[in-house]
């Protein structure tokens, strides 16, 4: 199994990777590789994590101009594709059409011995892809829906295809799992167990969304959508900050009404509901995985009084943070 990326404009091979036939040896090992990207191919990184039947890759890339690369692969794969930020377009005779992803979209793709070209658009490109061996993926594929059955037939006939003709919107639950995948700091077999569980959970959410024919389309203008997502990103990166709705709205160039309405429409929750849930999820992770005490965690997520943090945590999880070690979630 070989994947090649090359720049046809200068006749340069950028990457050639050889993978075992079932995506990596069946010995329980987990392999990782981080590539630092430099101009003219952008500034950023591309991180690969792989183990039996699963290949996870994600990257953050800053682009000054459109980047065009050609690709070739001699194997089959089912790809869970998540466009977190930026735009890309793939042209291949395998599909007979251009497959384009914009920010905040996802889909599942079956690719059979692909070749063609990819165009990437900046200024910032954030993507996450999970490639599964087709035989492994089919074990999870329901057999009672037209879309799923059509996709199964495409895999069996080795015809490249999208599971859903229309891309769906990345939900808030999916964002949390994507962040967990990208920020997992476990090692060895524990990391593999954790990642396998997260991949399965993410696949479940994708299939449920497809089954319910929920593309999560928005009535918001594109420019307002981008502002709402900018607020979500700000909150995720500044959990200890203290801002009013009006201040958040002004940061991204909108008003309080648009922010409240748009956030609820896109994510199904309020701005401060999301902020609180994200704080509590991070606090839970730190309580379980770090040696930080309650006062330190409280301070890190923006609570000046540890007692207020403990009360909020108990309201969320029905257990005091001091008792986390004696009660599993």
What does the domain layout of the chain look like in residue ranges?
2-211, 222-326
Measured distance CA(325)–CA(286) in Å, rounded: 12
Report the range of poorest mean pLDDT among 113-122, 147-156, 229-238: 113-122
Specify the pLDDT at position 28. 58
Residue 106 has pLDDT above 70, yes or no: yes
* Contact call for residues 110 and 151 (beta carbons, < 8 A): yes
Span 99-109, average pLDDT: 94
Specify the pLDDT at position 163. 93
Kindly state the tokens that stand for 194.
């954790």
Specify the pLDDT at position 38. 82
Measured distance CA(291)–CA(74) in Å, rounded: 47
pLDDT band at 9 (very low <50, low <70, confident <90, very high): low
* Contact call for residues 193 and 116 (beta carbons, < 8 A): no
Q: 151-175 burial string, b = 16+ CB within 10 Å, else e?
A: bbebbeeeebbbbbeebbbbbebbb
Specify the pLDDT at position 267. 87
Specify the pLDDT at position 133. 92
- pLDDT tens across 268-310, in order? 899 999 999 999 999 998 998 888 999 999 999 999 899 999 9
Task: Give residues with Cβ within 8 angstroms of 233, minimum separation 6.
Answer: none
pLDDT band at 329 (very low <50, low <70, confident <90, very high): very low
158 DSSP assignment: T
Specify the pLDDT at position 24. 41
Specify the pLDDT at position 328. 41
Report the range of poorest mean pLDDT among 79-88, 123-132, 205-214, 261-270: 205-214
pLDDT band at 202 (very low <50, low <70, confident <90, very high): very high
Domains 2-211 and 222-326 share a fold: no
**First-to-final CA distance of the chain:** 40
* Contact call for residues 207 and 189 (beta carbons, < 8 A): no
Measured distance CA(19)–CA(50) in Å, rounded: 10
Span 165-169, average pLDDT: 90
Span 1-16, average pLDDT: 64
Range picked from 26-40, 63-77, 302-316 for highest mean pLDDT? 302-316
Specify the pLDDT at position 89. 92
Q: Average model confidence (pLDDT) for the chain?
A: 86
Please state the separation of Cα 156 from the chain's center in Å.
27
pLDDT band at 219 (very low <50, low <70, confident <90, very high): confident
Measured distance CA(23)–CA(305) in Å, rounded: 49
Burial of 19 (0-12, 13-18, 19+ CB in 10 A): middle
pLDDT band at 126 (very low <50, low <70, confident <90, very high): very high
Name the percent of the chain lying above pLDDT 70: 88
Tell me how far CA of residue 314 lies from CA of 37, 311, 320, in angstroms.
44, 5, 5
CATH for 2-211 is 2.60.120.280
- Full-prediction pTM beyond 0.75? yes
Cα dihedral angle (82, 88, 93, 95), rounded to 10 degrees? 40
Farthest CA pair distance, the chain: 63
pLDDT band at 12 (very low <50, low <70, confident <90, very high): low
Name the percent of the chain lying above pLDDT 90: 51
Specify the pLDDT at position 210. 86
Domain 222-326 grouped into CATH 3.40.50.720: no
pLDDT band at 91 (very low <50, low <70, confident <90, very high): confident
């Amino acid at each position: 199994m070989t994947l090649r990326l090359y720049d046809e404009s200068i006749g340069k091979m950028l990457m050639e990777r050889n993978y075992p036939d079932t995506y990596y040896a069946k010995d329980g090992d987990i392999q990782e590789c981080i590539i630092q990207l430099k101009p003219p191919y952008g500034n950023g990184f591309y991180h690969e994590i792989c183990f039996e039947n699963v290949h996870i890759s994600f990257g953050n890339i800053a682009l000054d101009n459109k980047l065009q690369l050609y690709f070739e692969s001699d194997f089959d794969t089912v790809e869970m594709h998540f466009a977190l930020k930026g735009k890309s377009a793939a042209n291949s005779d395998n599909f007979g059409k251009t497959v384009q992803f914009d920010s905040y979209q996802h889909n599942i793709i079956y690719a059979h011995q692909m070749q063609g070209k990819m165009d990437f658009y900046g200024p910032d490109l954030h993507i996450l892809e999970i490639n599964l061996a087709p035989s492994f993926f089919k074990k999870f594929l329901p057999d009672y829906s037209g879309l799923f059955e059509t996709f199964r037939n495409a895999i069996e006939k080795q015809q490249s295809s999208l599971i859903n003709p229309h891309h769906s919107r990345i939900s808030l639950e999916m964002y949390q799992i994507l962040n967990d995948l990208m920020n997992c700091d476990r090692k060895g077999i524990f990391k593999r167990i954790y990642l396998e569980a997260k991949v399965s959970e993410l696949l479940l959410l994708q299939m449920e969304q497809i089954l319910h024919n929920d593309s999560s389309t928005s009535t918001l203008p594109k420019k307002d959508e981008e502002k709402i997502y900018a607020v979500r990103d700000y909150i995720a990166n500044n959990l200890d900050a203290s801002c009013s709705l009006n201040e958040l709205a002004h940061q991204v160039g909108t008003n309080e009404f648009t922010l409240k309405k748009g956030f609820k429409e896109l994510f199904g929750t309020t701005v401060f509901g999301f902020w609180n849930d994200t704080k509590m999820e991070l606090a839970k992770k730190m309580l379980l995985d770090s040696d930080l005490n309650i006062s330190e965690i409280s301070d890190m997520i923006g609570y000046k009084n540890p007692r207020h943090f403990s009360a909020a945590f108990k309201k969320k999880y029905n257990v005091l943070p001091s008792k986390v070690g004696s009660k599993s979630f």
